[in-house]
Structure 1
């Protein structure tokens, strides 16, 4: 059982004992004190002394249950003796015994102790009442019968309650254990989900940055090698492009491993960044590019997402389209922004495309509540449209 469960059980038991104390004082101690008022002074003194004694003992064991001065078992022994003595003074004490009976179950650790001590108290009550009334062949008086019936009923009810509480505690512990296992499984599932999402994010970032850069380096290196003898100027330009691409890849790699700040572009500079990207594309491929890139102030995540879509689309044009012209249009509308990239290449069947690039672009935009629409057919070129809602500006 966990610590908080044990503490809760102790608090519940203390509350029950305090409520029992209130009922015991009202219905247990007061009636004998009132009933003895008509008796002789000696009996009154004995009765008040016994009630005061047992009341003080009860208060001590209730407030300090772990005290070695008066352990609960000793208190219950005192209570049993007081019940027998008050039964003698009152010529019967069945009612006081009945009111005191729950204490034998509240202050004992096992049902066997409760049964033994409450049985001893019942015997003393019967003995005291019989002794006070005088010995008679007909000893089964109402006091005796009531006490014995109360003892039997109390023992039966106490055993049932003990069993019921035990079963409830067992079910509670079982449910707690199942809850703990479920929480551990849920935490592990969240951890696995987080790890999977992080792997997917890193894979997408690597594909959109490092992989594209390395692909450009390979193409440029092949072109530079071919032009090394026939066109040294062109070869030098391509080597410069290789150097620039390698430096950009190095910067992106540092971002991915966390040794540099988050990569991206300065606030409001998406148009300028796209122009630099397109200039590099023209320099590396020699294709014709037309662009409409107004300055639109966007937040960092939106700018990076549109930049990555542009880079991926241009990489696909370079590798697959066989195009001669590329168009890029950035536009704002009420509540959002759109980036359109078109080419006059060979086109493809969109439904048959299962590449990581298009899927990565779609997922990246979806994370920002955006959409990706790709329109293409064989021989008719390709149109990529990225739409994003306009978030709060930086």
Structure 2
């Protein structure tokens, strides 16, 4: 059973928790910067009068409550949460006696901007960064109108961090969307490839069965008056081949219909993939239809990868079908050579040798495509001594073990 691996630890932390941690870290840093630490002669920054008074502590508690509440709302109502974080940043700055909102007070806002831009639609992200920049502009405007000093350079740095946080989140959002499009495109391509594979399988199966049916029906027509028992056997073979072909078509169509409805194909309705192990059965059925198939195996037989095994079988099946339909002969030879790094297939006959001109081209094109997909070599054409030959060489991974 497929088990989804757990997310990394940092990915499992909710965005609201990150916002709360950023706020707490900024509060601790602000406090440490305004006290004299060991080894320092004076604090990094001077604390405002209200920093240690009861009213300052009340404002700090209110700001912290707003920040924590905003972190909890971030996943459900991101813009409301951001407004609460902006208000918390404003209240916390009031305690510091500075002319501009400090970067530490805006750290939680930057974290929230990143998560909003990364997880929400682009319009929501643009609205969020506009709210943050608007709050900074409003802060400076109020101080200017009140005749107080401002820290324009510090405020500009804070604005830049907000824009950078939004850009990073937006980039993450676009990357995720692009990955999702690639996944959907790959899934669509996989469905298309599978349907093309089913179409090839259907063509090979139907073409071979129709060839056998035509041969058996012709034989039955010739001996129906002189050898009724033989004619009856031939027509029974026609009936069997027809029923098997219809059953195979029905299974394939059911699988396609289930895929269209978004369901996985029912394995009980699908026949197992054929391979070189079914070659003797194929040769026996063709021989019974009137075209003798002689099978020769060379080298050490071994288990092949399923795609190579199926392709080798289909190439032989299509070649035999062309012999039955076009060669005008009663025999053909099939050779399978198991080599160290490849498996070679060779199908020859002594017929008219015009398969490439009489055939509609779909059979040879399909065989050539199968071999090309496996990075092999394929040739087909008349033999100098007469007849027709199809050869295919399919590379086999060296790690495939022997039977």
Task: Please report the TM-score for the alignment, with normalisation by the length of structure 2.
Answer: 0.62
Task: Name the residue aligned to 2:364.
Answer: 358
Q: Is the 8 A contact 1:224 1:234 kept in 2?
A: yes
Equivalent-residue separation in structure 2 for 1:99 and 1:201 (angstroms): 71
Q: Is the 8 A contact 2:102 2:158 kept in 1?
A: no
Task: Name the residue aligned to 1:102.
Answer: 102
Task: Name the residue aligned to 2:121.
Answer: none
Q: 1:292 aligns with which of 289, 296, 312?
A: 296
After superposition, the C-alpha distances for 1:149-173 in whole angstroms (9 at most, x for unaligned) are xx33x14541x34653554456456
Between 1:199-208 and 1:172-181, the stretch displaced more is: 172-181
Q: Is the 8 A contact 2:322 2:355 kept in 1?
A: no
Which runs of no fewer than 5 residues in structure 1 stay unpaired? Answer: 36-46, 83-95, 124-147
Q: 2:233 aligns with which of 237, 244, 259?
A: 237
After superposition, the C-alpha distances for 1:202-256 in whole angstroms (9 at most, x for unaligned) are 1111011133213432443344345433442331121122133124324533553
Equivalent-residue separation in structure 1 for 2:272 and 2:172 (angstroms): 46
* Secondary structure, aligned partner of 2:205: helix
1:378, distance to aligned residue in structure 2 (A): 7.8
Task: Name the residue aligned to 1:279.
Answer: 284
Between 1:323-332 and 1:100-109, the stretch displaced more is: 100-109
1:339, distance to aligned residue in structure 2 (A): 2.5
Cα distance change on mapping 1:374 and 1:280 into 2, 3 Å:
same
Q: 2:139 aligns with which of 114, 126, 129?
A: 114
Equivalent-residue separation in structure 1 for 2:331 and 2:86 (angstroms): 96
Cα distance change on mapping 1:118 and 1:102 into 2, 3 Å:
farther
Q: Is the 8 A contact 2:335 2:346 kept in 1?
A: yes
Q: Is the 8 A contact 1:292 1:328 kept in 2?
A: yes
Structure 1 residue 196 corresponds to structure 2 residue 192 = yes
Q: 1:205 aligns with which of 196, 201, 206?
A: 201
1:182, distance to aligned residue in structure 2 (A): 3.0
Cα distance change on mapping 1:52 and 1:213 into 2, 3 Å:
same
After superposition, the C-alpha distances for 1:39-95 in whole angstroms (9 at most, x for unaligned) are xxxxxxxx7x96253674475356433479x99869967975x7xxxxxxxxxxxxx
1:310, distance to aligned residue in structure 2 (A): 1.8
Equivalent-residue separation in structure 1 for 2:222 and 2:87 (angstroms): 101
Task: Name the residue aligned to 1:311.
Answer: 317
Task: Name the residue aligned to 1:345.
Answer: 351
Task: Name the residue aligned to 1:334.
Answer: 340
Cα distance change on mapping 1:63 and 1:323 into 2, 3 Å:
same
Cα distance change on mapping 1:373 and 1:322 into 2, 3 Å:
same
Equivalent-residue separation in structure 1 for 2:36 and 2:86 (angstroms): 21
RMSD: 4.8
Cα distance change on mapping 1:303 and 1:67 into 2, 3 Å:
closer
Cα distance change on mapping 1:75 and 1:17 into 2, 3 Å:
closer
Q: 1:25 aligns with which of 30, 34, 46?
A: 34
Task: Name the residue aligned to 1:14.
Answer: 23
Task: Name the residue aligned to 1:127.
Answer: none
1:372, distance to aligned residue in structure 2 (A): 3.0
Instruction: Give the helix-richer structure, 1 or 2.
Output: 1
Q: Is the 8 A contact 2:293 2:331 kept in 1?
A: yes
Which runs of no fewer than 5 residues in structure 2 stay unpaired? Answer: 1-12, 70-83, 110-131, 256-265
Equivalent-residue separation in structure 2 for 1:246 and 1:166 (angstroms): 72
Equivalent-residue separation in structure 1 for 2:347 and 2:272 (angstroms): 23
Larger radius of gyration: 1
Equivalent-residue separation in structure 2 for 1:241 and 1:309 (angstroms): 23
Task: Please report the TM-score for the alignment, with normalisation by the length of structure 1.
Answer: 0.64
Equivalent-residue separation in structure 2 for 1:117 and 1:31 (angstroms): 32
Task: Name the residue aligned to 1:322.
Answer: 328
Task: Name the residue aligned to 1:141.
Answer: none
Equivalent-residue separation in structure 2 for 1:13 and 1:78 (angstroms): 14
After superposition, the C-alpha distances for 1:67-124 in whole angstroms (9 at most, x for unaligned) are 79x99869967975x7xxxxxxxxxxxxx7459962897499612553367569x97x
After the TM superposition, which residues 206-225 of structure 1 pair with which residues of structure 2 at under 5 Å, given as runs? 206-225=202-221
Task: Name the residue aligned to 2:117.
Answer: none
1:197, distance to aligned residue in structure 2 (A): 0.2
Equivalent-residue separation in structure 1 for 2:85 and 2:349 (angstroms): 92
